[in-house]
Each structure stands twice: as structure tokens, then as C-alpha cells.
Amino acid sequence: METIKNSIKKLYKTGAFHITVGSFFTKFVAFFGSIFVVRLLSKKDYGILQYVENLYSYALVLAGLGLGFAILRYVVKAEKEEKKTYMDYAVKNSMYRDIIICVLIIVLNFFVKYPDNFQTAKYYVPILAVLLPFQNLFTNGTYSLRAIFKNKEYAFVSCAVSVLLILGRIVGAKTAGVGGVVWSRLIINALCAVMLTVYVYRIYPRADTSQLSKDVKKEVNAYSFQYMITSGLWVIFMLNDAFILGLLTNDPAVVADYKVAYVLPGNLSLVSNAIGIFVAPYFTRNETDKKWVQHNYKLTALINAAGVGIIALPLVLFAEPIINFIYGQSYINIVPLMRILLIGAFINSGFRYVTANILSAMGKVKSNLIISSIGILLQIALDILLIPRYGAMGVAYSNCLVFTIMAVALFAVFYKNYYRKNHNVKITL
């Protein structure tokens, strides 16, 4: 009992408690706020909003060409006097790249032909293009806090901004529909990004006067780009379902049904994201100690799977009354779809994510890249094959199969690189 008590105290001091509670609160606020947005907008308008935000998320994959990910590796590993140098390089160069991406999106938008029932997307995409540099600036600010283990500050900032964004979405939907939601997101992100960046630069350890060498910059950029591709492939994987569904059905209501059905399954990532955010820097710091990695991987995987399962099971059992209570009778038809999506989400968040996150934290991004690429190809093929026959249910069936294949493949990679039998090593973070 004394050991457990000391472990809890240690986790509290290191910020694990704050990250977990903060992540839960952030997800809860986002989920709670989405209920109001769904009820305030018609099915058609909500389907269009999700279609537009889905398109924006594709562009967000390219944000900074991945330089933000470098903060979580190189700042963590750098000596105290070098941390700000790495952070400054990543933040400033990300902004330059994001501005170029923003301009390209606005220009390309004039030439894109959208499906007939999604034509209004053309008016909202440029607004979200301007959002991209600010949202990535805010993200880099939170990464910068996490990289110097300012876990309490990280949790507070994440929670506060999530509340503001949800309130903005609700007010925007009530007053101006889809346009109000989009504009509120831009304004709030811009203000919060600037304030957080000023704060981060003030609290960071003092840097030396030297700049990063060309070789170091090359290494940072190569790692960032590779990580962006790996992480981006996974994001694209999650976005493809709604995009292909909209493309093949040309029906905003079907897209709305799918996106609403995915809200609760998507929130299963609450546990895995919180655990992943907390443990990643520790695995980065101890990546050369295979015994430490092996045993702490077991502990992390066990806690993660149990946490995700505890949330998933009641959602599957009581899906119908939950949907009826939250979204009303107009969405009661999505109950079977949500149950299948919950199974897929459990496989994804409970098994795939933890292994992928830890491998990436330890620099094994190539394996993630290959497996994610194969997963996307399988997903696209299955979606094209199943959606015309089963509609949105085809997406759910595809998810379950592909997530299982990816989880098994990632574990095989981890087993090959790190598994060693040793029962005398203490399991600690």
C-alpha cells in the first residue's frame, strides 16, 4: 500500500494526474458541446460542416511540414541551454511554411469542383485556410510546454481553450449557422495562439547564442517530415471514411449520420491520448534501455486497454437509450452503426495506438509509415467495395478489419525490436 501511495504521489507531482484529468475534461467539453451543435443545425447543414472540416483536416496534416513533432523529441533530448534554440527554430519555420500552405489552399479552392450537394464548401474553405497557421502555432505552443514537462500548464491551457472553442461553436451555430461555427474557430484560435506563444517564449530556459548547424537542421527536418508522413497517413486514414462516403453517396444526411455515430467511438481515444501524451517523453528519454522499454510497455498497454474497455462496454450495451437521450429520435437509426464503430474504436485505441505512439516516441517512425501506408490502401479498397452495398455500415466493417491488421503488425514490430524476458526489472515511469 505504501508503494502504491508513493507511486500515486509521484504521478501527481510529474503531472500525469493533470494530463489525464485535463484530457478527459477537454474531450468531455468537446463532446458535450457537439451535442448542442448537432441539435442547432439541420442534418444537411451539419453534414456540410463536417464535410468542410474534414477537408480542412487533410490540409492540417501538412502543417509546418511536421516541425511541431520535432519539439517533442529534440527539445526533450537537448541540454537546458539548447532547448529554446530548438523550440524557436521549429515554431518560426512552421509559421513560414503554414503561410505558404494557406495561400496555396486559397488559390486551389477556386479550381476545385465540389459534389452538387456540397457546393457551399467553396465559401468556407478559405476561412479555414487562414485558420491553419494559427491552429498550428497554438499546437506548437502546447508541445513546447509538454517538452519541458510543464504538465500542469499544458493541461490548463488545453482545457481553457477547448471550452472557448466549444462556446464559440455553439454561439456561432445559433447566430449564423455553418458560417458562424467556422468564423468562431478562426477568431478564438488566432487570439489563443498569439497569447500562448508569448507566454512560452517568456518561460523557456535561456538559450545560448549559437544557432543550429546545417547538419542538425537537416536531421530535425528529416525526422519531422518522416513523422509528418507517418502521423499524416493515420490522420488521412481517419478522414478518408467521411470523404469517400460523401463522394460515393453525395448525401449530407448520410455523412451527418456517420459523423454523429462516430462521436462516442472517437472519444474512446480519451484514455489512449492521455496516456500517450504522458508516457511518450519518458520512452524517448529511455529509448536505449530495452529492459526499461519492454516492461514499461507492458504496463502502459495493460492500463490503456483496460481503461478503453471500461468506457467502451457500457456504450455498446446501452447504445440505443444513449443516442435517444443525447441526439433525439432523428438519429436513432445510427445505433447499429455506432456499435460496430465502437468495436473498431476499441481495437484502435485499446491496442493499435499505444504501440504506434511508443514506437514513434523512440524514433521508429519508418515502421509506422509502412504499416499506415498499407492500412490506408486496404481502407480505401474496402470502402470502395463496401460503401455502395452497405452504406455507412461498410465503413464500420472496414475499420474493424483494418484496425486489427494494423494492431497485429505494429505489435510484431515492437516484439522484434524490444521484447526480452527479464522479470527482475522494476516497472516505473
Please give the tally of structural domains in the chain.
2
Task: List per-residue pLDDT tens for the chain, 429 residues long.
Answer: 455 455 555 555 555 556 666 666 666 666 667 778 888 888 889 888 988 998 998 899 999 999 998 998 898 888 887 888 999 999 999 999 999 999 999 999 989 888 888 888 899 999 999 999 999 999 999 999 988 888 888 888 988 898 899 899 999 999 999 999 999 999 999 999 999 999 999 988 776 656 788 899 999 999 898 888 877 876 787 788 888 888 888 888 888 889 889 888 988 887 787 788 778 878 888 878 888 888 888 888 899 999 899 999 999 999 999 998 888 888 899 999 999 999 999 999 889 988 888 888 887 777 877 888 898 899 999 999 999 989 889 999 999 999 999 999 999 988 888 875 544 444 344
Residue at 225 is within a domain: no
Whether residues 320 and 184 share a domain: the answer is no
Residue at 222 is within a domain: no
Phi-psi region at 251: left, alpha or beta (left = phi > 0; alpha = psi -120 to 50): beta
Whether residues 40 and 184 share a domain: the answer is yes
Answer with the one of 161, 177, 212 that is the final residue of a domain. Answer: 212
Cα distances from 286 to residues 181, 225, 281, 361, in angstroms, run 43, 23, 9, 10
Q: d(Cα 416, Cα 412) in Å, to the nearest integer?
A: 6
Answer with the one of 149, 179, 212 that is the final residue of a domain. Answer: 212
Could you tell me if 355 and 407 are in contact, meaning their C-beta atoms sit under 8 angstroms apart? yes
Residue at 154 is within a domain: yes
Residue at 231 is within a domain: no
Report CA torsion sign: 224, 23, 147, 415: negative
Residue type, 159: C
Residue at 219 is within a domain: no
Whether residues 142 and 245 share a domain: the answer is no
Q: Could you list the residue range(s) of the whole structural domain that residue 196 is in?
A: 1-212
Residue at 221 is within a domain: no
Residue at 287 is within a domain: yes
Could you tell me if 107 and 133 are in contact, meaning their C-beta atoms sit under 8 angstroms apart? no
Whether residues 175 and 259 share a domain: the answer is no
User: What per-residue confidence (pLDDT) applies to 417?
Assistant: 83
Whether residues 43 and 172 share a domain: the answer is yes
Answer with the one of 212, 245, 264 that is the final residue of a domain. Answer: 212
Whether residues 377 and 311 share a domain: the answer is yes
Whether residues 190 and 245 share a domain: the answer is no
* 115's grid cell: 459534389
Whether residues 187 and 298 share a domain: the answer is no
Whether residues 273 and 414 share a domain: the answer is yes
Whether residues 297 and 392 share a domain: the answer is yes
User: What per-residue confidence (pLDDT) applies to 107?
Assistant: 95
User: Is this model's pTM higher than 0.95 or not?
Assistant: no
Whether residues 270 and 203 share a domain: the answer is no
Residue at 340 is within a domain: yes
Whether residues 247 and 352 share a domain: the answer is yes
